[in-house]
Amino acid sequence: MLDASEANQYLPLLSSLLGGVDAFGKYEDRQLVFEANGAVMAGGDSVTIGTRAEGYTAILPITGPILKYTAECGPRGMDYYSSAIIQAENDPRINSILLVIDSGGGQAFGTQSFTSVIKSVSKPTLAIIHDGMGASAAYWIASSASEGIWATNGTSVIGSIGTMLTLPDFREKMKKEGVTLNQIFADGSPEKGKDIMDALDGNYDPIKKSLLNPINNAFVNAVKESRGSKITNEEVFTGKTYMASEALELGLIDRIGSIQEAVDYLQGQVASKSNFISNHNQQPINSTMKFKLGLSAILAVLGFGAVASEEEAPLVTEERLTALNASLETANQATQEAQAEVARLQGELASAQAASTSLTADRDAWKAKAETYAKGPGASHFVPNAGAPEGGNTEPDQSAIIAGLAHNVELDNNPLFN
């Protein structure tokens, strides 16, 4: 989790190491503590303080590449920073912690654990990007401070919320030097290191899926948890970096100010919280305090009827308050059960309404069909004339016509045929 520009700065160092050159300088170990009035105290390997009894802001510089472990003769790691923060948390003379950051990022492993330590302390913590970078893993660390993130000037570089892996391939170099690397795997270990080898061969998908994407998701989620309500543009989660002035507009930082202003701010936060606690401290119950006359509902819960005067009102005692609390808990439980029953009945009502709607739709469909059939052939009922031949047949009777013919009439009147 190192910003690309920062990573490129270490390529000459890598080249020097490969060439056997000692490229490391000497690191000076120093922690600073600001008094509330602005005096600075300097220390060595541990956080030290001046002669005051209390009221100090511990200042913890976090500079250079972010490393998980402290090197024996090199830069500090997150294990050291974690110990320093815990020491400041446990020191009663220190009331706040300022993280002074100038780093382009570094190792992903260990960063989440370090941010958990920062979040666990009870004292106010503030991160300030000091005239440099607060990028990648360094920004992850800064985002965990309880009082937010500042920058000392508008040209500090902020962001790089993303994850990358630089994987050098020395195989050709080793081959030129006559060294052949033979990697032999156990029969049951065909997947061991496969994502690394695939990446060296140009197939980056496996290592992105197994390593980079999960780490990146954890990074983004951590920042959203700490600053989600302040972020104004999702673009900041693509790995892009910004000058502090723009980062302020995007919600990546909260303010541009000096280290001294940051210390003053922390001391102000401590004072505000101290005043709040002192003003809201619970006082012992006064044995002569009485319930007010207007609290008839409370008096009824405690078993008292209406009282006519202040003198008749019952005293406020711990026993009565405990009884009142128990009554309220019972009432709350009953309310929750009633709300659950209301929710159940509302569900049943919704189901009944849905069934009713379905039946109404069926009825309307059949009604429409009936209206269609009513307009078709045979829809009207015809009542025949019962007195007419053939039950209402209006056609002439053919047998009567034949009998009425002249020759048939003669035959009918001839006595020979009658």
Give residue 324's Cα distance to chain centre. Answer: 38
CA-based nearest residue to 273, from 95, 106, 38, 94: 95
What angle is formed at CA 138 by the lines to CA 133 and CA 141, rounded to 5 degrees?
Answer: 140
**pTM of the predicted model as reported, rounded to 2 decimal places:** 0.59
Residue type, 390: E
The CA angle 189-195-197, to the nearest 5 degrees, is: 90
Minimal CA–CA distance to 46: which of 29, 65, 70?
29
- Residue pair 60/118 in contact (Cβ under 8 Å)? The answer is no
Q: What one-character-per-residue DSSP string does 247-268 give?
A: HHHHTS-SEE--HHHHHHHHHH
How far apart CA 363 and CA 359 sit, in angstroms, is 6
Give the Cα separation of 6 and 137 in Å (integer): 12
- The mean pLDDT of the chain is 80
Sign of torsion over alpha carbons 340, 346, 350, 351: positive
Pair 66, 106: CB distance under 8 Å: yes
What per-residue confidence (pLDDT) applies to 18? 63
| pLDDT 10s digits, 328-373 | 788 888 888 888 899 889 889 988 888 889 888 888 888 888 878 7
Q: Which CATH superfamily is domain 4-169+183-272 in?
A: 2-enoyl-CoA Hydratase; Chain A, domain 1 (3.90.226.10)
Do 97 and 32 touch, CB atoms closer than 8 A?
A: no
Tens digit of pLDDT for each residue in 63-97? 999 999 988 777 899 999 999 999 999 999 999 99
**Element (H or E) spanning 41, and its range?**
strand 40-42
* Choice among 74-83, 209-218, 275-284, 313-322 with the minimum mean pLDDT: 275-284
